[in-house]
Structure 1
Amino acid sequence: MRTLRCYWLTLVLGLLPLATLADETLHYPADPTTDAPRPLVVHAALDLPQIEPVLQAFHRLHPEVELTYRNFTTLDLHQRFLKAPDQADVMISSAMPWQYRLVNDGHAREQLSANARAWPAWARWRHELFAFTFEPIVMVVRRELDERYGTIQGHADLLALLERHGRELSGRVVTYDPASSGAGYTYAIEESRLSPRYWELVAALGQARAQLVDTTDDMLEGLIEGRYLVGYNLLGSYARDVVAAHPELRLVVPDDYALVTRRLAFVPQHAPHPDTGGRFLDFLISETGQRLLAEQTALGAIHPALDGPGTAEALRRELGDALRPIDLGPGLLATLDDLKRQALLSRWQREFSRYTAAPP
């Protein structure tokens, strides 16, 4: 999302005198009085404005650490790791199946700190892979859509809207491309299991010639500019602050069901600086780090000691049974089976193209 991202990079540059920016990279040099700087390289699929408060706080606590943070798309992050598994000290991504497969294949170091041992079992796999956020998947609509067609509150409302007004909304709807987005594929396979009407919704999206993109940023940019009237399956953590800054937009946490994704972090087996990597991961799951997530970001904290605004417990109280967290467990591997993946993507394209002579 070029316009929005440039704005955020400018904002971050103004706030961080210790940070220098190049493309999607933040660098915090070690305190110049440190005799032996301790490098830390974090590779992630997590936009800079969301992670910056955590990086800044960690660097204040550990000024001897020379911290480099690089942001990628989910699939690019995964592919880079496979080509060079010894380049990062910490890996972070919301593409849960890909992270799980890397750890299952033996790419992660065991973490046995007090925080790691006490971390909730539902938010970790063994002591190698740790979920540290709680992020609902949402819709974002322009208020003019509400005024023209009525209010959307859930998936059934969206399906009805597209079936009745698909022609009028042609090209004005946007969602992830599951073939090129790891997050989009994850949501597609989870929804195909969860909702008996999911394939009807995919066909309706195709009938409305929905635009397919790779990131939530791409969707938000088009919604802000008015090119799109409704965005489907955005990361709520990215959408919340943008919607708050744009009164013409409305955020919808679906009232029938809302998938919840979680950022997964691990220290690679061949990390060049595993000690500082482990220290950073431990900070992510500490009460201090989690409080930062709850109070200064929209990522959603998991720590069981926290239950105020910005936490998983608060969301559970607000949304109850509508929340559908994606399970962190062996079931994630099935989503990446080559034959199953190809079968799902083939059906997705077939349903999406059902009412058109050619794919949009």
Structure 2
Amino acid sequence: MNIRCRVVLLWVGLWLLSGVSEAQILHYPAQPERTDAPRLLIHGALDPPLIAPVLEDFHRRQPHIDLTYRNLTTLEIHRAFLADEGEKNADVVMSSAMPWQYQLANHGYARALDDKAAREWPRWARWRRELFGITFEPVVIVYRRELVEHFGKVANHGDLLRLLEDERDALRGRVVTYDPAQSGAGYTYAVEEARLSPRYWELVTALGGVRADLVGTTGEMLKGLASGRYLIGYNLLGSYAQDFTRTHPELEIVVPNDYALIMQRLVFLSRSANNPAAGQRFIGYLLSETGQGVIGQNTPLGTVHPAFEGPGSAVALRERLGEALRPIRLGPGLLATLDHLKREALLDRWEREFQRAKVGRDPHAYTREQP
């Protein structure tokens, strides 16, 4: 094995957070190995199999940089950054928790990049020159193929609502979605859909009517769908679903044709980076045609760069779905999702609507515990 591409995958105790036992680390040593090599630390909420092709290609091009990637949850990334552990603090922060990333940049924690790639990045995918959306990932519906055999196709939110209402008994306990109280992604999607669709709350009531399971990650949903526990999952992250379904042909992905939320993974260079030059070089790579090409060809994440028009790219999805695409806006509106009172109000309504269909029907109706 070429030593420059050597990857050490370690399971180690997470040194920043109490109550969290493990973190995944990918380490690409500098070549030739030396004690004075520039060290680049990246914190990312992206599973190693998905980000590894990007890191490997960057390291092949910049072998003199000692590169470490720590895979954390979105909440761990946010807390770890605010903990400000000096040398342990990340140089580059990459997360799908768009409101938290925007909040950090808006509060002055991100360093502006003044290069051609940053200046020319699409305006809809950046905030000033400090925060950059590097992927284009639809939020999708996933179902087992036998669902179609019994109930017909589900192409959009209206189809899903009718299915849940018409087949309540058949689907009871066979549907899964995010719990917005325990998932930052699930909460963000709930906020966006409540703005977008006048029938969103009907859909939440219908999910409650079939006693949908509420979980914290797309991975949990996919695992339950593959095992046959669930027949249909709502609001899964499309990139993870696409990667998973390659080895699970019994599952089908649907990008809703009425409206489809688009999530972006946002990256910034920390203002307190220990190695800002190496961090800027990495972000420049992510924004380049080269880096975006690796994302588009070797991962299911979807490209932003306008030069790419293949499957999964922003250009291709816009051509196919047009105005149905609803990218989550990168701007001050994201901060509203972090307001404590607004959060509590939305979660309270979500709980009421979810329970509404069961009122008067089941004296032992399930009640979700609040965190």
Number of the residue aligned with 1:65: 65
1-side partners of 2:75 and 2:356: how far apart?
28
Contact 1:295-1:309 within 8 A present in 2 as well: no
Contact 1:142-1:223 within 8 A present in 2 as well: yes
Contact 2:9-2:25 within 8 A present in 1 as well: yes
The runs of at least 4 consecutive aligned structure 1 residues that moved more than 4 Å come to none
Secondary structure of the residue that 1:167 maps to in structure 2?
Answer: helix
Contact 1:293-1:310 within 8 A present in 2 as well: no
2-side partners of 1:42 and 1:210: how far apart?
36
Number of the residue aligned with 2:217: 215
Contact 1:75-1:181 within 8 A present in 2 as well: no
1-side partners of 2:185 and 2:223: how far apart?
18
1-side partners of 2:335 and 2:200: how far apart?
21
Larger RCO (CA within 8 A; separation ≥ 6):
1
Q: Note the C-alpha offset of 1:307.
A: 2.0
Q: Does 1:290 align with 2:298?
A: no
Structure 2: runs of 5+ lacking an equivalent: 12-23, 359-364
Q: Does 1:306 align with 2:308?
A: yes
Q: Does 1:159 align with 2:167?
A: no
Number of the residue aligned with 2:121: 119
Q: Note the C-alpha offset of 1:141.
A: 0.2
Counterpart amino acid of 1:50?
A: L
How many pairs align?
348
2-side partners of 1:171 and 1:120: how far apart?
43
Q: Do the aligned partners of residues 88 and 351 (structure 1) sit closer, same or farther apart at CA in structure 2, a change above 3 Å counting?
A: same
Q: Does 1:22 align with 2:7?
A: no
Q: Note the C-alpha offset of 1:35.
A: 6.4
Deviations 1:183-241 (A, max 9, x none): 11111100000000001111111111111111111111111111111111111111112
Could you state the TM-score of these two structures normalised by the residue count of structure 2? 0.90
Deviations 1:162-198 (A, max 9, x none): 1112222122111111111111111110000000000
Q: Does 1:355 align with 2:357?
A: yes
Contact 1:42-1:69 within 8 A present in 2 as well: yes
Could you state the TM-score of these two structures normalised by the residue count of structure 1? 0.93
Number of the residue aligned with 1:229: 231
Matches within 5 A, 1:237-316: 237-316=239-318
Q: Percent identity between the aligned chains?
A: 59
Contact 2:4-2:59 within 8 A present in 1 as well: no
Contact 1:352-1:359 within 8 A present in 2 as well: no
Matches within 5 A, 1:69-218: 69-84=69-84, 86=86, 87-218=89-220
Structure 1: runs of 5+ lacking an equivalent: 1-12
Contact 2:4-2:60 within 8 A present in 1 as well: no
Secondary structure of the residue that 2:169 maps to in structure 1?
Answer: coil
Counterpart amino acid of 1:304?
A: P
Secondary structure of the residue that 1:245 maps to in structure 2?
Answer: coil
Contact 1:132-1:264 within 8 A present in 2 as well: yes
